[in-house]
């Protein structure tokens, strides 16, 4: 994602009611924040929030939390909420490395990773959101029956992500190298901003859905 320093974005995020600011204090209490016991689905690295906003509008019976590292990007999602507020959607500005500080064990029911940054240098592999280091964190916060869904058009990142599964104790329920060519998997598929952009220029979209056997 190209980052421009949007003047005042940090202040706008700090002042927004749609962003949870004391996220660590919410650990184990997210149902209370939403005021219901609906399942909690999170997107890590949500960018401008196109996907999670559409999902929240489509599924009012699910609580969604979008996580994004940069205020300048998150600001776009906040602006969408200002136009039309969705009660089942909240945002957090944070680095996902600290995710276990923000969610209690088993508190999350589903995790989405969409078009995660590739970090192409080997020495940065542990920063990739589908790396084994992150899978260990997700293992902690995801309920036993929970699943993680990952989409990307980056073949190297996808191959890496698939190789990380076994060492981290995860299994694939679905792996496709052509999501958009699979009618069954496309049912209910909500396109992310990057998915729209890259599928429009003919890139195949890769996807897996993974779980742990516990």
- The Cα–Cα gap between 193 and 214 comes to 34
When asked if residue 115 is in the footprint of ligand SAM (CB under 6 A), the reply is yes
Q: Site mask, ligand SAM, residues 86-105, x = CB under 6 A?
A: ---------xxx--------
In the chain, where does DSSP find H-type helix? 9-15, 30-34, 50-58, 71-83, 132-141, 155-168, 183-186, 193-200
Q: In this chain, which stretch among 8-16, 100-108, 109-117, 204-212 interacts with ligand SAM, using CB under 6 A?
A: 109-117
- The Cα–Cα gap between 94 and 74 comes to 10
When asked if residue 206 is in the footprint of ligand SAM (CB under 6 A), the reply is no
Q: Site mask, ligand SAM, residues 118-157, x = CB under 6 A?
A: ----------------------------------------
CB-CB contact of 39 with 103 (8 Å):
no
- Supply the minimum distance, in Å, between the C-beta of residue 42 and ligand SAM: 11
- Supply the minimum distance, in Å, between the C-beta of residue 27 and ligand SAM: 17
- Supply the minimum distance, in Å, between the C-beta of residue 109 and ligand SAM: 19
Q: Which is nearer to ligand SAM, 145 or 196 (CB)?
A: 196
Q: Which is nearer to ligand SAM, 35 or 69 (CB)?
A: 69
One-character DSSP codes across 90-141: EEEES-GGGGGGTS-TT-EEEEEEES-----SGGGGGGSTTSHHHHHHHHHH
Tell me the two tokens of residue 4: 């421009």
Q: Is 17 a catalytic residue?
A: no
Enumerate the active-site residues: 117
């Amino acid at each position: 994602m190209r980052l421009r320093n949007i003047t005042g974005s940090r202040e706008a995020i700090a002042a927004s009611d749609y962003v949870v600011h004391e996220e660590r204090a919410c650990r184990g209490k997210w149902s209370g924040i939403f005021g219901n016991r609906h399942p909690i689905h999170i997107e890590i690295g949500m960018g401008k929030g196109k996907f999670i906003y559409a999902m929240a509008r489509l599924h009012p019976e699910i609580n969604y939390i979008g996580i994004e590292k940069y205020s300048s990007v998150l600001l776009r999602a906040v602006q969408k909420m200002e136009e039309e507020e969705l009660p089942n959607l909240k945002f957090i500005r944070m680095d996902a490395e600290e995710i276990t500080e923000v969610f209690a064990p088993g508190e999350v029911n589903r995790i989405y990773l969409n078009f995660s940054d590739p970090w192409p240098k080997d020495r940065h592999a542990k920063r990739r959101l589908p790396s084994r280091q992150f899978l260990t964190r997700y293992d902690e916060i995801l309920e036993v029956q929970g699943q993680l869904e990952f989409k990307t058009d980056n073949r190297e990142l996808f191959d890496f992500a698939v190789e990380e599964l076994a060492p981290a104790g995860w299994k694939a329920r679905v792996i496709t190298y052509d999501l958009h060519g699979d009618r069954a998997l496309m049912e209910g598929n909500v396109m992310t901003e990057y998915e729209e952009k890259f599928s429009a220029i003919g890139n195949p979209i890769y996807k897996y859905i993974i779980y742990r056997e516990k």
